[in-house]
Each structure stands twice: as structure tokens, then as C-alpha cells.
Amino acid sequence: MKLLILLGPPGAGKGTQAQHLVSRFGLVQLSTGDMLRQAVKDGTEVGRKADAIMKAGQLVPDEIVTSLISEQLDKHAHAPGFIFDGYPRTQAQAVALDALLADRGMKLNHVIELTVDEDALVTRIAGRFTCARCNEGYHDTFKLPKVAGVCDICASTEFKRRPDDNAETVRARLAVYRADTAPILPYYEAKGIVSRVDGMGDIASVGAAIDAIVQDVPVSA
């Protein structure tokens, strides 16, 4: 069982690298951002609460995201491991995750922090789009579909862009990352489980650096 957190600011490449780890190691990606966007699309009670908060680039309440993660851990009880993408984002969520895992006899193995410079983040986020059917991530410059207008994975020709990917909201998301999320790193550093990866290389070289770490992380029972 491998249990990993991908930590980094908006646009750092968490979702991109999580998808890579899914195909490389068969781990299950648990992205609270993706879960919340699905809830908004489905018009659920969680989605109705989260919609305006996400458009403003602020954080959805801790209890909501922790309960989404708890449901998914149960749903994928037989998975070979999990990648937490965009969760935890506050100290309270970090503590809650440890409790959720302990309840299920699991323990976090590793935290990978993607470091990037902020100028690159805005360029990355402004160019991002995803497949409307399978959610594969793309970029106008850095990762275009192999055949223009056709998803590499599912051949859909429909793509979408996120409503929170505008310059103003990105600035708010970055400020929230600095204020609430970056400060949780010492919690994991104290456990000796943090590795830093330079997220400024191209997608393949960042992926190779992450693979080398994931291959070597000690696994829990």
C-alpha cells in the first residue's frame, strides 16, 4: 500500500503527475478539486455550497472535503494505494487525514512537494484545458492532444476550461496556498516524510523524478 500526498500551489502539476502515477503504479487519484467540480456539475448539496467559494478561489470548509475523502477511501478499499491531490490544504485537514487513515489501519508514506516559480503558474493555468468526457489534462502550449481537437485517451472532441482559471481567481488561490496550505509542510517534515521535486522541468522529467521517489518509498502494510 502506497499513500502519497502531492502538495504544491495551483498549476504546479499535481493533477498532471497524479494521472501519470495512476497509469504507472495503478494508484487511485483522490482529487478534492475534481470531486467538488463534479458535485457542482451534479447540483448536489455539497456542490451548491462549494460553487461560489471555488469561483472566489477560497477554501471549501474542512468537514466537507474530509467527508468526501472518507467516502472515497471506503469506495476503493482494495486499491493498491492512493495519491492525495489537493488534499489536505489546511492543518485541520492534515490532522483529519491521519485520523481517517488510522481508522482504516493505514498510514501516510510520503509527501511530494512540487516547487515552481509563480510566473510559470499563471502561464500554466491560463493554458489549461481538459477532456470533457474523461478529464485528461492538456495545455495550449505544453501538452496538446496528439491529433488536434481529439482526446488522446477517449477520442472525445469536447474539451472544457475551469471557471476559476482566470487571473484574478488565480491570485486569490495563490494567496490561500501561501497562507493556509504551505504552513502544513512542517507537520510532515517533523515526520521525516517530505521530498521536494523541481516542478519547473518539462512534464516527463518531473514525472521521472517523482517515479524515482515513489519506487523507493517504504510501504505500509
**Where along the sequence are the contacts to ligand AP5 (CB under 6 A)?**
8, 10-16, 32-33, 36, 53-54, 57-60, 65, 86-87, 89, 93, 124-125, 127-128, 137-139, 142-143, 164, 173, 199, 201-203, 206
The yes or no reply on residue 11 touching Mg ion (CB under 5 A) is no
The yes or no reply on residue 9 touching Mg ion (CB under 5 A) is no
Number of separate helices (H) and strands (E) present in the chain: 9, 8
Preceding peptide of 88 cis, ω within 30°: yes
Among 9, 15, 88, 199, binds Mg ion (CB under 5 A): 15
> 101 burial class (0-12, 13-18, 19+ CB within 10 angstroms)?
middle
Which residue is catalytic, options 2, 37, 89, 124? 89
Which of the 8 DSSP states describes residue 183? Answer: G
Mark the segment that binds Mg ion (CB under 5 A) among 14-22, 36-44, 56-64, 165-173.
14-22
Identify what 151 binds: ligand AP5, Mg ion, none; CB under 5 to 8 Å per kind: none
Between 31 and 81, CB nearer to ligand AP5: 31
Q: Around 142, how many Cα atoms within 13 Å sit in the side-chain half-sphere?
A: 21
Which residues are registered as beta bridge partners of 147?
A: 150
- Please answer whether residues 132 and 159 qualify as being in contact, where contact means their C-beta atoms are separated by less than 8 angstroms: yes
Q: Is 89 a catalytic residue?
A: yes
Kindly report the length of the chain: 221
Distance in Å, CB of 195 to ligand AP5, minimum? 16
Which residue is catalytic, options 24, 133, 162, 171? 162
Q: C-alpha grid cell for residue 117?
A: 516559480
- Please answer whether residues 156 and 132 qualify as being in contact, where contact means their C-beta atoms are separated by less than 8 angstroms: yes
Buried/exposed code over 19-54 (b: 16+ C-beta within 10 A; e: otherwise): bbbeeeeebbbbbbbbbbbebbeeeeebbeebbeeb
Between 147 and 219, CB nearer to ligand AP5: 147
Instruction: Tell me the residue type at 118.
Output: E
Distance in Å, CB of 132 to ligand AP5, minimum? 15
Which residue is catalytic, options 173, 178, 191, 196? 173
Which residue is catalytic, options 128, 161, 171, 196? 128
The residues annotated as belonging to the active site are 14, 89, 128, 162, 173
| Binding-site ranges for Mg ion (CB under 5 A) | 15
